[in-house]
Amino acid sequence: MDYHGRDETRHPPPPSPPPFLMANPSVSSLLTSSSTSRPLGDLDGLVGGRVRNGEPPAAVDGSPSACRKSVDDGRGEVVGENKERRKNPGKMRKITRPRIAFQTRSADDVLDDGYRWRKYGQKAVKNSTYPRSYYRCTHHTCNVKKQVQRLSKDTTIVVTTYEGIHNHPCEKLMETLAPLLDQMQFLSSF
C-alpha cells in the first residue's frame, strides 16, 4: 500500500464542489466547507440531529484524526507519519484539511464523480442505522478521502464528505475531453 510520503502538512485552499455537482440535480444541498479541529461527528447529527455528546449540530469540519495510528499492532509495519508521531508524542500538530460535504438523493451509496476510489473501511456510527464507508482516491499521488453515509432519517439521502483536493485531473473528464483536445490540436496546427 502506498501511504508513504503523504504531504499532510499542506494547507490547500478550500475545495470547490466537484464538477459533477454543478449540473447534478440530485444534489439536494451543499453543507459547508471549513477547517476546524473537531471530528465530523455522525452525519445524521450533521443535518439536524445530535452530534456526539450533545454537541450542537455543527457544520462539516476538519479532521483531527489525520494524525493517528502510531503502532503496527503486531501485524504490519510502522509507516510514514506514524513513525513521526512515535518519535514526538504529543508534538504532532493537528492537521486540518479542507472538507466539503453534500447530500445527494440517490439509490446508490457511491455517486460517480469521475474519480476512482478504493474503500478502506466501513464503520457503524452512532445514531445511524447505516454504516459509514471510507474511501481513498486510488491515484498514487493523490490522498483525497471521502466518507459516504446514508441518512437513517431519510434513506434516500446519501451524505458524501470529501476531504482534500485532487492533485490530478478527473479521469472520466479527461476521457471525455481527450478526443476534443486532439481535434483542437489538429485544428490549431494549421
Partner DNA sequence: CGATTTTGACCTGCGC
Partner DNA sequence: GCGCAGGTCAAAATCG
The residue ranges that bind DNA (CB under 7 A) are 1, 3, 37-42, 52-55, 63-79, 85, 92, 116-127, 132, 134, 138, 145, 147
> Nearest approach, Cβ of 95 to DNA (angstroms)?
10
We find the least distance from the C-beta atom of residue 94 to DNA, in angstroms, to be: 7
Q: Which is nearer to DNA, 37 or 183 (CB)?
A: 37
Give yes or no for a contact between 127 and 137, defined as CB atoms under 8 angstroms apart: no
Q: What are phi and psi of 26, to 5 degrees?
A: -80, -10
Q: Which is nearer to DNA, 174 or 184 (CB)?
A: 174
Judged by CB, which is closer to DNA: 18, or 45? 45
Minimum CB distance to DNA, residue 93 (Å) = 9
Q: How many CB atoms lie within 10 A of CB 10?
A: 12
Would you call 25 exposed, middle or buried from its count of C-beta atoms within 10 A (0-12, 13-18, 19+)? exposed
What amino acid occupies position 185?
A: Q
User: Cβ 63 to DNA, closest distance in Å?
Assistant: 6
CA–CA distance, 19 with 107 (Å, rounded to integer)? 20
DSSP state of 70: -
Residue with Cβ nearer DNA (83 or 181): 83
d(CA 105, CA 136): 22
CB of 187 to DNA, least distance (A): 35
In this complex, which beta carbon is closest to DNA, that of residue 80 or of residue 181? 80
Smallest distance, DNA to C-beta of residue 25, A: 25
Compute CA distances 180 → 9, 114, 186, whole Å: 37, 18, 10
- Closest to DNA by CB, 25 vs 74, is 74
Confirm if 142 and 66 have CB atoms less than 8 A apart. Answer: no
